[in-house]
Amino acid sequence: MTTASNQVALFSTEELDELFGEYKSFRRIAIGVSGGADSMALLYLLKQWTQELGFAAPELYAFTVNHGLRAEAASEAVGVAQYCTRIEVPHETLLWEGDKPSSNIQSAARDARHRLLRQASEDHGCDALFLAHHLEDQAETFLTRLARGSGVYGLACIRRDREMDGFHICRPLLNISKARLKAVLHSAHVPWFEDPSNEDEQFTRIKFRQAQSELDELGLTATKLFDTARRMARAADAIDVWVDEVAEKSCTFHSAGPVRFDSSCLEYIPDEIGLRLVGRLVRYISGAPYMPRLAKLEGLYETLKSEEGARAATLGGVRFALAKPHEDGIWFCFREAGRAGLPEVEVKPGDEGIWDERWRYKAAHSSEGFRITYVQKELCGDFELEIPANWLKTAFLTAPLIVFADGVSYMPWKKIGQTAADAEVRSRTYGISMVPVSRTF
């Protein structure tokens, strides 16, 4: 670990309140702590803040993810645990197990880290997960996305707060420089680890980091890039207000997941609004955390807007299909099974989790297991769904289906056949629930 002498005064009470004051209502906060300077500073500052708040402060839990990619990772996790013991913050090390990809390793590691951190946070009853992204992280994200040709939403970069299915992801240090965070650690004699991969030039983000000094000379400082991202976020929020209004008139959402979309709205709204609307449809139906890349989204958008285009299109695991001649402009948008099909999960009594990134299941006090699959897989399309008028039957083939051990099937969103009553009673008796992960469009 690295230590140094005092260089700067610690954050004042006023500064701490400015950083964390809006989070006072949280009962329990999880912190992702890698052992690097950024996350150790976040841990230290949150501890200082909660100590000043006293008995009314949220509880803190620290989690470290060992990706198993570096030999030093295990000892670093031990070092974080020792520091947490010293400041009396509960700590747990999470392991990324299983095979590791041979390419795009940073992205895969990031996704695994976020998944493990969120699961551990929810398991411990935390209201939010705090991450230590700082000013330079925001600047590097802006440059990386600019190089990819991102639009308004991509250049809005990292948001300070994000709410997903009632759970909060918070990044309160986005306007604080790494130099300031290191100075705080120096001043407080808090140790940290240096990760050598942060200097590996094979990663695009590192190249931008190392080029920042040259950009500073041109006036493209990290602070100015952060300000631009903040303004882009403000513009994105304004666009979303308009998108919400259009979606209310043009989209009909079914409880099973599919959406009926009247594309005639695309004739009179600006393309930026239409692109955002279509992108949000893809994200909503697929359960993906982010929208598709702008270039791919633009291709789908042109298809939906064209008067003589294709009758079907797919993007991000979502199928767009016309049920009638194209002049009607009605598209049915639904989850596509794809070549590999959708996941099938064997659920044991007491289990809970997420199916296909879209539905949260729980067997609260079940005395028997069941299987979660999807309509097309189990019933081979030979079923009666009592499809509502003006809906496409195919759009319901990837809706979830609960199958009990004795073969009784139950759709949590629709009764099915003569066994419906038996299945519904059984699901209530054993405390089986299955609800959408999030209905926020």
Q: What is the CATH number of the domain that holds 163?
A: 3.40.50.620
Cβ-based neighbour number of residue 370 at 10 Å: 27
- Asked if residue 105 and residue 190 are part of one domain, the reply reads yes
Where does the pLDDT of residue 208 fall: very low under 50, low under 70, confident under 90, or very high at 90 and above?
confident
Q: Is 227 annotated as a binding residue?
A: no
**Cα separation of 31 and 60, whole Å?**
7
What is the H or E stretch that residue 319 is in? strand 318-322
- Asked if residue 269 and residue 209 are part of one domain, the reply reads no
Structure tokens belonging to residue 363: 């067997």
Mean pLDDT check: name the lowest of 22-31, 313-322, 368-377, 430-439: 430-439
**Cα separation of 436 and 37, whole Å?**
38
Q: What is the mean pLDDT of the chain?
A: 86
What pLDDT shows up at residue 110? 86
Q: 441 in a domain, yes or no? A: no
Total domains, the chain: 3
Q: 395 in a domain, yes or no? A: yes
Q: pLDDT tens digits, residue range 266-292? A: 999 999 999 999 999 999 999 888 889
Mean pLDDT check: name the lowest of 135-149, 345-359, 364-378: 364-378
Where does the pLDDT of residue 429 fall: very low under 50, low under 70, confident under 90, or very high at 90 and above?
low
Q: Is the pLDDT of residue 418 over 50?
A: no
- Asked if residue 59 and residue 36 are part of one domain, the reply reads yes
Which residue, of 335, 368, 401, is where some domain finishes? 335
Q: Is 37 annotated as a binding residue?
A: yes
Q: Is the pLDDT of residue 87 over 90?
A: yes
pLDDT over 70 percentage in the chain = 86
Helix, strand, coil % (nearest 5) of the chain?
45, 20, 35
Q: Is 25 annotated as a binding residue?
A: no
**Cα separation of 287 and 284, whole Å?**
6
Q: Is the pLDDT of residue 232 over 80?
A: yes
Q: Is the pLDDT of residue 420 over 60?
A: no
- Asked if residue 331 and residue 349 are part of one domain, the reply reads no
Q: 62 in a domain, yes or no? A: yes
What pLDDT shows up at residue 350? 83
Structure tokens belonging to residue 326: 């194209």
**Cα separation of 134 and 198, whole Å?**
15
Q: Is the pLDDT of residue 198 over 80?
A: no
What pLDDT shows up at residue 383? 53
Q: Is the pLDDT of residue 204 over 80?
A: no
What pLDDT shows up at residue 7? 42
Which residue, of 335, 353, 369, is where some domain finishes? 335
Q: 46 in a domain, yes or no? A: yes
- Asked if residue 399 and residue 357 are part of one domain, the reply reads yes
Q: 56 in a domain, yes or no? A: yes
Where does the pLDDT of residue 130 fall: very low under 50, low under 70, confident under 90, or very high at 90 and above?
very high
Q: 8 in a domain, yes or no? A: no
What pLDDT shows up at residue 52? 93
What pLDDT shows up at residue 440? 66
What pLDDT shows up at residue 17? 95
- Asked if residue 384 and residue 318 are part of one domain, the reply reads no
- Asked if residue 364 and residue 298 are part of one domain, the reply reads no
- Asked if residue 350 and residue 262 are part of one domain, the reply reads no
pLDDT over 90 percentage in the chain = 55
What pLDDT shows up at residue 197? 60
Q: Is 34 annotated as a binding residue?
A: yes
Dump the DSSP string for 249-306.
HHEEE-TTS-EEEEGGGGGTS-HHHHHHHHHHHHHHHH--SSPPPHHHHHHHHHHHH-
Q: Is 38 annotated as a binding residue?
A: yes
Q: 180 in a domain, yes or no? A: yes
Q: pLDDT tens digits, residue range 235-260? A: 999 999 999 999 999 999 998 899 99
What pLDDT shows up at residue 434? 81
Which of 267, 287, 279, 268 lies closest to 240 in space, CA to CA?
Answer: 279
Q: pLDDT tens digits, residue range 342-356? A: 999 998 888 888 899
What pLDDT shows up at residue 178? 93
Cα angle vertex 128, ends 123, 132, to 5°?
Answer: 115
Q: Is the pLDDT of residue 438 over 60?
A: yes
- Asked if residue 377 and residue 282 are part of one domain, the reply reads no
Cβ-based neighbour number of residue 154 at 10 Å: 21
**Cα separation of 272 and 151, whole Å?**
9
Where does the pLDDT of residue 311 fall: very low under 50, low under 70, confident under 90, or very high at 90 and above?
confident
Return all residues near 296 (Cβ < 8 A) that are at least 6 apart: 315, 316
Q: Is the pLDDT of residue 430 over 80?
A: no
What pLDDT shows up at residue 166? 80
Higher pLDDT, 24 or 100: 24
Which residue, of 183, 208, 225, is where some domain finishes? 225
Domain that holds residue 349: 345-436
CB contact at 8 A, 297 and 282: yes
Query: What's the whole-number mean pLDDT along residues 34-46?
Result: 96
Q: 240 in a domain, yes or no? A: no
Cβ-based neighbour number of residue 205 at 10 Å: 15
224: buried, middle or exposed (CB in 10 Å: 19+, 13-18, 0-12)?
middle
Higher pLDDT, 31 or 205: 31
Where does the pLDDT of residue 222 fall: very low under 50, low under 70, confident under 90, or very high at 90 and above?
very high
CB contact at 8 A, 258 and 397: no
- Asked if residue 409 and residue 278 are part of one domain, the reply reads no
- Asked if residue 183 and residue 38 are part of one domain, the reply reads yes
The pTM of the whole model exceeds 0.85: no
What pLDDT shows up at residue 98? 77
Q: Is 35 annotated as a binding residue?
A: yes
**Cα separation of 3 and 190, whole Å?**
7
What pLDDT shows up at residue 59? 96
- Asked if residue 314 and residue 395 are part of one domain, the reply reads no
**Cα separation of 320 and 342, whole Å?**
18
